[in-house]
A and B are shown apart, each in its own frame.
Chain A
Amino acid sequence: MPMITPQQYEESLRKLNLEVYMFGKRVENVVDDPIIRPSMNAVAKTYELAQRPEYQDIMVATSHISGNKINRFTHIHQSTEDLVRKSKMGRLLGRHTGCCFQRCVGMDSLNALSIVTYNIDAKHKTSYHQRFMDYLAYVQDNDLTCDGAMTDPKGDRSLPPHAQADPDHYLHVVEEKADGIVVRGAKAHQTGALNSHEIIVMPTISMKKEDENYAVSFALPSDADGILYIMGRQSCDTRKSEGGNMDQGNLIYGGHEALVVFDNVFVPWDRVFMYKEYDFAGQLVEHFASYHRQSYACKVGVGDVLIGAAQTAAEYNGASRASHIKDKVIEMNHLNETLFCGCIACASEGHKEPSGTFAVNALLANIHKHNVTRFPYEISRLAQDIAGGLMVTMPSEKDLRSSETAKWVEKYFKTNPDVATEDRLRILRLIENLCLGTAAVGYLTESMHGAGSPQAQRIMISRLVNLKEKQKAAKMLCGIADDS
């Protein structure tokens, strides 16, 4: 069963016994909850497209373990072509869903661990890599969705993990047993956690000897004893439970984040991939971060949707021939395709690690993600400029349907006689969704902070560029003797 259908995926989620809380209450039926359901639909899309011949060249890979055809989200990159296809997969799914489809973080965790477990073994004569490969085979054979859990709550940012007033502000080992370890702590901002079969935990920062109890990586079933989830709110989230089919903007898909609490959770040894090797915590963070910064290729696909929506709104408004509107659409495309350049470049310039896994070019991945912290905001600003203020002042769907108000809404929001008023309102709701509503969580704030905030990329850029070589080139051209 190397690849499952979206229906099988949904059924597999129904078998999980997740402890989920939202609005202060336990969620009994996670899969069918109207606020959570769109995010499940988005993950299901990763399964659906892998079944369809017209997308398989991107969505399907060949396992280097079994030789089976597998979903690319469970694949370990074996070439730069694999990395390029991963970037294209992000755009493809972003365009099809108009939101975060949540499955890249698990793929990035698997690839980072495939490199780092090998490197830990090489230095410390441990056996993590084989353990990891056994786990990877299980993930591939069952086509699982994994949550990659890196970000700790972090408490006081000026203090390292061991010095925090509350030791649980970073996830850590609290007990070692003959058959495994017990961990306590939490992971914040966990995208797609409720739609995942597995949680892969990694440390969140570089560590020193004093932090060795925090240098831990492992994987567990998402419904393991002691794990609980508290759903994050999103702007306009309750529109999904109002019963209409317009005001939520995106009728089918969405994303979610949750706080995941590990309340004294047991991890068997065969699921532990790092245990107190603090000297590799930073390496794992950096490999994961580089892969995940590449993964923001998805924003290009979401940008495609927003550009398409803005152009449609302009046409509905009768403004699409105005030169300034055309120029704004050109600018949106320029920014969006510049993002595409970055995610393709860091993949094309990838390299092979000692484990055999191909890693992205870390400098270019950071450059790409840094652009992602900026460009979607400008694309969003231009989309709102083109859409006009009605995007945030128009009446609700219920007013469009009401016998008392429908005629006024129809009359006064009509533009072109050939355009249904409802269609005009629908496209504006989609733009609102992407710029201000539930999807703005993914398209804007996640673009800012996901896979590391802007300053994290700037630190990496300063570390990775070779300024001395640039100086040497400049000095040579103007006749300065190189004294370096």
Chain B
Amino acid sequence: MSSKSALGTRLLRIGIKYCGGCNPNYDRGALVSKIEDQLPQQILWVSPEENADLIIAVQGCPTACADLSPFDASKVFQIKDEADLQPLIKKLKSAISQKI
């Protein structure tokens, strides 16, 4: 994962909030790695409790039970399936261009 750097403020700050992973339909960690692979040098992983530009809720199944109550709902993007990855990448690219 990207480390914090002097460029940190120009990168899109993303917090990952996982569900608990009791019975996931896909490899949640591998999917998060793909996000980074597809957006090299454009995002910065931060703790979801930090000042994140947005939160990606990585839900292992459609139940989507991750507790999102601490977060501003307008900043939360949900992934419930691997098929949600590419639409999410598009949204992230849009958010990155807006930030720049």
Chain A residues packing against B (C-beta within 8 Å): 53-59, 84-85, 88-89, 91-92, 95, 301, 304, 340
Contacts and interface: CB of A to CB of B under 8 A. Distances in A.
Given A55-B18, A55-B20, A88-B22, 13 more contacts: A56-B18, A56-B20, A57-B18, A57-B19, A57-B20, A57-B21, A58-B21, A84-B65, A88-B65, A91-B23, A92-B23, A301-B22, A304-B23
B16 interface: yes
A78 to B, nearest CB: 13
Interface residues of B, number: 14
Interface of B: 16-23, 28-29, 58, 65-67
A253 B97 CA distance: 48
30 contacts: A53-B18, A54-B21, A54-B29, A54-B58, A55-B18, A55-B20, A55-B21, A56-B18, A56-B20, A57-B18, A57-B19, A57-B21, A57-B65, A57-B66, A57-B67, A58-B19, A58-B21, A58-B22, A59-B20, A84-B65, A85-B20, A88-B65, A89-B20, A91-B22, A91-B23, A92-B20, A92-B21, A95-B22, A301-B22, A340-B23
A144 B19 CA distance: 25
A58 B20 CA distance: 4
A88 B17 CA distance: 17
Nearest to A88: B22
Contact of A92 (B22, B58, B65): B22
B4 to A, nearest CB: 17
Nearest to A94: B22
A54 B66 contact: no
B71 to A, nearest CB: 13
A264 B51 CA distance: 57
Contacts of A89: 20, 22
A88 B18 contact: no
Contacts of B19: 57-58
